[in-house]
Chains A and B, each alone.
Chain A
Amino acid sequence: MPTIASPSAPPADRLRFALVFLVVLASAIGIVVETLDVTRQIDAQSSSNSDNLQWALSQTDVELLNLEIAMDDARHDIAKLGKLRVRYDVFFSRVKTLELGSVFTILRGNAKMSACFDHLKQFLAATQPLFDGPDPALWDALPDLQTQARAVMPEAHEIALTGVSIFAQRADLRRADVKNTLIQLAVLTLVLVLAFVALLVMVLRLDRGNRLKAALNAETLARLDAVMATSLDSVITLDVVGRIVDFNPSASSTFGYPKEQAMGCYLSLMVPPDAQGKAQLPALNAPVTKGHRRHRITARRRDGVDFPAEISLSSAQAGARSVHVVFLRDLSQQVAAEQALVTARDEALAGEKAKADLLVVMSHEIRTPLNGMIGTIDLLDGTELAPHQREYLRIMAASGRLLMHHVNDVLDIARLDSGKAKLNLAPLDLSHLVGEVIENQTPASQVNGNTLTYIPPTDGRTRVIGDAAQLRQVLMNLVGNAVKFTKDGTITLQVLHRSNRGPTEILVRDTGIGIVREDLGRIFEDFVTLDPSYARHASGTGLGLGIVRRIVTRMGGKIRVESKAGEGSTFRVSLPLAILDSGDQPVVPETPQALTGKLSVLVVEDNDFNRLIVRDMLLKEGHTVTEATDGEEGIAQANAQAFDAILMDISMPGIDGLQAANRIRTGNGASCNAPIVALTAHALQAETDRFRAGGMQEVLIKPITRDTLRAVLTGVRPVSASPPVVELLDRRVLADLRTSLGAAKAHILVLRFLGDTERRVADLLAHIDDPVYEADLMADVHRMGGSAAMFGAVALRTELSAIEALCKQGNKPAARAAIPALAALWQRTAEAFRDEGYQEDEPLPQASNLR
């Protein structure tokens, strides 16, 4: 419900009101004061001063005149002396009154008046003894008295006149006072009236504003009612304790309660507590927060059916009360739709996964018999054959290799897509890598009459850090394609750095048939083989470029293609590789050492066929071979006899290769220190890491050829008596490092690596029992593994990879259990580094240049 705030005047209005009110108050007070003043003045006039003073004064004149007349009368009739005495007393009283009466004080201050008074008093004083005396004396004195009276008559007259003028002045002054007061009163009254008018105007305006507001509110309310009525969501308004005070039509239809029935009910009727008896909604008396609180809840209809709903609570302040508004949306359909979608997606994903799994399984399964075929062909090639038979055999071998190539492609895609593929970063020389590829592709190239050329970077910096194997695969695929689609042309490989710090670009340019514009966009997709006419030129699964794209993306790079049909194509691989300052030192390529000496080799392989092939290959190389058909037998043989090397198949029934290798290693048999080479069709990197961690020195991925077999047997060396894993350092890596960075810089980096790893190993040991630390364990060993690879600490790196693999499998306890052994290995590795001369106190030949 809308909150209608009680209308309150804005502050400015309130201030205006206060001002007008103050004016009204002040005016009213002023009027009261003035009115009192007027009353006082009127009172004053109506009292003391208003006596008929002029009468009293003029009476002085009159009474003196009466006295004189009475004297005259008495002179003619002595009987009237009594009357004369009364007249005298009356006049006497008059003068005395004028002399003493407070009302005449003002007159007495007048100098002229004073003089007149004095004369009158002198007259009275002079005549009083006569009037108090006997009649005859008075009568005799009458003529003289009459003269005296006449003499003072002007004085009495003067008193009357002066009094008139003085009192007239005073009356004027007083009238002026009254007038002033009345004017002030009128002004104040006017102000009061104006203030009232102002008040009236303001009240009218306020009233109009309120009417307008009320109309607006009514309109808003009507609109809100319409919104509520037509809302698809239920809108329920609750009072402060959670009782329903409004219930819109949608709520009625959703819950099945008519509005009248719902009103006054508690919301918990429709949103009951959950199965555990816990309220689904927060307490309403929780602190009122602005905005919405959304909750997924289960609501209950009147017929008892529960349904999922989304509820949003908001609180509003209606005057002093707060109300709660609940918006509720029936999610039954949405939830059902979501569920259907999830199911559909899960099914689709499961289907996809099943397909991918099938592909991988099929590939694996194909590889094993294929392995047998290729091996047999290889063996057959070593026997006496007629020329045409040898030609058939060559075709068979080529077909077999092609098939193997396709299967490997499929497995590569699966591996790359699985996300398990990891980059094996190490320093490498791009020129060397390109050289290998050119060397490899030259025979095929020559068949098509093509020339392969290489343009190295202008600055000669070809040493980078990268994954050589993957990079090689990329180049092989690109150059292989170029060779396939070019006839009598030129294929150019170019390495260049876009800037001093990369990215590094590798270009593969050919002058072949090119690609039409429409196809350029999709050549990196899987299973793409272009125009059927290509089939005449080459065959393929169409996975090659898909693999290239995946690897390049995995390395954080990009691949682009520019091409024009009939003129050729350019593939441009851009990679963010760390460029090492190589100087001019060429890298000495790895040259496989010629096999020296005949070895006694134990072959543990359950598949008779495969075992036969490997045995024959070994025999051909001049080695002596002992065979074992399963893990158990292999262990027994190894314990009984000291072999120079053991070839161990991984997947065997019963004791598998990994377990067998472990038993041989940990046992005290005659061959416990012999190098063990894993034979496997599992090409996943994680797997091979696991084998290495399991005590195997090398991994030989099937199909096995004489070349690969020879290479592996050349590389392996017997495990030194104790500790078992011998090769702590790869001195070639260290040599490379010195070559590319300079001895001094390399020295400092190695020392830093030693210190850093020392600290990390100590950390691992310190946290060995801390379960919280487990989350970081994997990241830690991964980082350490990267460093160890960079600095040639191969044994350490192998051990770290093993621990990382355990972590990945979720086998944290095993991973933690391996840490003490890791620490011991680290001690030996550090010792080996020190033996190489990497010590803190070792004097540095070029130390001064480093700063």
Chain B
Amino acid sequence: MVRSLFSAVIALFLVVVPAHSEQPVAKLPDLSGPVILTVTGLDPVAYPGGKALFDLAMLQAMGQVRVSTGSIWTDGTHDYTGVALSALVKYLNIGAGTLTLHALNDYKADIPTAELEDNAPILAYDADGAPMPVRDKGPIWVLYPFDGDIKYRTDTVFSRSVWQLDRIDVLR
């Protein structure tokens, strides 16, 4: 509890600080759990090896977005919680570029950062109050609010709705 609060404070600090200064090296918080997301292709000056690793707590600390929607791959409506992909992009100070989303099942899809919206898609890591297992599209599902708008029910959107996400490669 104390740790999570601490992490939240750190995260807040981090969110603010990199946005304000073009500091060459960004300091990511220490991992406190298993890595569920790896981001590669980052500025090697800011991130050693151009790589950033995230555990669940770090993602949770980045700001939580709730989406309640059904999908063509699921049965009925569920409540999902995650972080907005745009928030992550901002967090990592990624400018214009394309993100390649990699899944555990070797699927991949590209999203230009310009096409990210504030709250869509999200990197959902929690479904109906429980972490998402790999056996059910976990650990992270790139999720659009499909029921919210017809624009989220296009081929492109569906192809970008990558489940079992474990890596994002940034192409700048």
A interface residues, Cβ below 8 angstroms from B: 43, 46-48, 50-52, 59, 63, 66, 86, 89-90, 92-94, 96-97, 100-103
What are 13 A-B pairs at a CB distance below 8 A? A43-B150, A47-B153, A59-B105, A89-B104, A89-B135, A93-B105, A93-B134, A93-B136, A93-B137, A97-B137, A101-B73, A102-B73, A103-B72
Q: Is B144 an interface residue (CB 8 A)?
A: no
CB atoms of B73 and A89 under 8 A apart: no
What are the interface flags for B63-96 relative to A under an 8 Å C-beta threshold, 1 for contact and 0 otherwise?
0000000111111000000000000000000000
From B14-22, B25-33, B156-164, the one touching the partner chain is B156-164
The CA-CA distance from A97 to B134 in the complex, in Å, is 12
Contacts of A52 in B (CB 8 A): 155, 158-159
Cβ of B150 to closest chain A Cβ, rounded Å: 7
Say whether chain B's binding surface is mostly helix, strand, loop, or mixed. Answer: loop
Which of B70, B71, B105, B159 is packed against the most chain A CB atoms within 10 Å?
B105
Contacts of A103 in B (CB 8 A): 72-73
CB atoms of A100 and B153 under 8 A apart: no
CB atoms of B105 and A101 under 8 A apart: no
The CA-CA distance from A47 to B144 in the complex, in Å, is 13
CB atoms of A51 and B105 under 8 A apart: no
CB atoms of A51 and B158 under 8 A apart: yes
Q: Is B133 an interface residue (CB 8 A)?
A: yes
* Residue on B nearest A100 in the bound complex, by CB: B75
CB atoms of A50 and B155 under 8 A apart: yes
Contacts of A50 in B (CB 8 A): 155, 158
* Residue on A nearest B105 in the bound complex, by CB: A90
Contacts of B163 in A (CB 8 A): 93
Cβ of B105 to closest chain A Cβ, rounded Å: 4
Known: A46-B155, A52-B159, A86-B104. A93 touches B164 (CB 8 A): yes
Contacts of B136 in A (CB 8 A): 93, 96
CB atoms of B72 and A102 under 8 A apart: yes
The CA-CA distance from A784 to B105 in the complex, in Å, is 143
What are the interface flags for B106-145 relative to A under an 8 Å C-beta threshold, 1 for contact and 0 otherwise?
1100000000000000000000000001111110000000
Contacts of B159 in A (CB 8 A): 51-52
Cβ of A30 to closest chain B Cβ, rounded Å: 25
Say whether chain A's binding surface is mostly helix, strand, loop, or mixed. Answer: helix
Interface size on B, residues (CB 8 A): 24
Q: Which 5 pairs across A and B sit closest by C-beta, in order of nearness?
A: A89-B134, A103-B72, A47-B153, A100-B75, A101-B73
The CA-CA distance from A289 to B153 in the complex, in Å, is 78
CB atoms of A100 and B105 under 8 A apart: no
CB atoms of B154 and A86 under 8 A apart: no
The CA-CA distance from A50 to B137 in the complex, in Å, is 20
**Contact among B72, B104, B134, B138 with A48 in the assembled complex (CB-CB below 8 Å):** B72
Cβ of B99 to closest chain A Cβ, rounded Å: 20
CB atoms of A51 and B72 under 8 A apart: yes
* Residue on B nearest A94 in the bound complex, by CB: B105
CB atoms of B72 and A101 under 8 A apart: yes
CB atoms of A100 and B74 under 8 A apart: yes
The CA-CA distance from A177 to B28 in the complex, in Å, is 55
The CA-CA distance from A704 to B43 in the complex, in Å, is 173
What are the interface flags for B18-60 relative to A under an 8 Å C-beta threshold, 1 for contact and 0 otherwise?
0000000000000000000000000000000000000000000
Contacts of B73 in A (CB 8 A): 97, 100-103
CB atoms of B134 and A47 under 8 A apart: no
Contacts of A101 in B (CB 8 A): 71-75
Which of B74, B107, B135, B163 is packed against the most chain A CB atoms within 10 Å?
B135
Cβ of B2 to closest chain A Cβ, rounded Å: 32
CB atoms of B74 and A46 under 8 A apart: no
The CA-CA distance from A822 to B61 in the complex, in Å, is 146
CB atoms of B105 and A63 under 8 A apart: yes
Contacts of B104 in A (CB 8 A): 86, 89-90
Contacts of B155 in A (CB 8 A): 46, 50-52
CB atoms of B153 and A90 under 8 A apart: no
* Residue on B nearest A90 in the bound complex, by CB: B105
The CA-CA distance from A43 to B74 in the complex, in Å, is 21
**Contact among B74, B75, B134, B150 with A86 in the assembled complex (CB-CB below 8 Å):** B134
Contacts of A92 in B (CB 8 A): 134-135
CB atoms of A47 and B154 under 8 A apart: yes
The CA-CA distance from A52 to B72 in the complex, in Å, is 12
Cβ of A539 to closest chain B Cβ, rounded Å: 139
Given A50-B158, A51-B155, A101-B74, 12 more pairs with CB closer than 8 A:
A46-B153, A46-B154, A47-B154, A52-B158, A89-B135, A92-B135, A93-B163, A93-B164, A96-B135, A102-B70, A102-B73, A103-B72
Contacts of A59 in B (CB 8 A): 105, 107
Cβ of A662 to closest chain B Cβ, rounded Å: 132
The CA-CA distance from A651 to B137 in the complex, in Å, is 158
The CA-CA distance from A59 to B72 in the complex, in Å, is 17
* Residue on A nearest B163 in the bound complex, by CB: A93
Contacts of A51 in B (CB 8 A): 72, 155, 158-159
Known: A47-B153, A47-B154. A90 touches B164 (CB 8 A): yes
The CA-CA distance from A94 to B74 in the complex, in Å, is 11
Contacts of A63 in B (CB 8 A): 105
The CA-CA distance from A101 to B163 in the complex, in Å, is 13
CB atoms of A89 and B133 under 8 A apart: yes
Cβ of B154 to closest chain A Cβ, rounded Å: 5
The CA-CA distance from A63 to B136 in the complex, in Å, is 15
The CA-CA distance from A97 to B141 in the complex, in Å, is 13
Cβ of B76 to closest chain A Cβ, rounded Å: 9
CB atoms of B75 and A102 under 8 A apart: yes
Contacts of B135 in A (CB 8 A): 89, 92-93, 96
Cβ of B128 to closest chain A Cβ, rounded Å: 14
The CA-CA distance from A435 to B119 in the complex, in Å, is 151
Contacts of A46 in B (CB 8 A): 153-155
The CA-CA distance from A92 to B153 in the complex, in Å, is 25
Cβ of B144 to closest chain A Cβ, rounded Å: 12
* Residue on A nearest B139 in the bound complex, by CB: A89
The CA-CA distance from A93 to B140 in the complex, in Å, is 13
* Residue on B nearest A56 in the bound complex, by CB: B73
* Residue on B nearest A46 in the bound complex, by CB: B154
* Residue on A nearest B156 in the bound complex, by CB: A46
The CA-CA distance from A52 to B164 in the complex, in Å, is 17
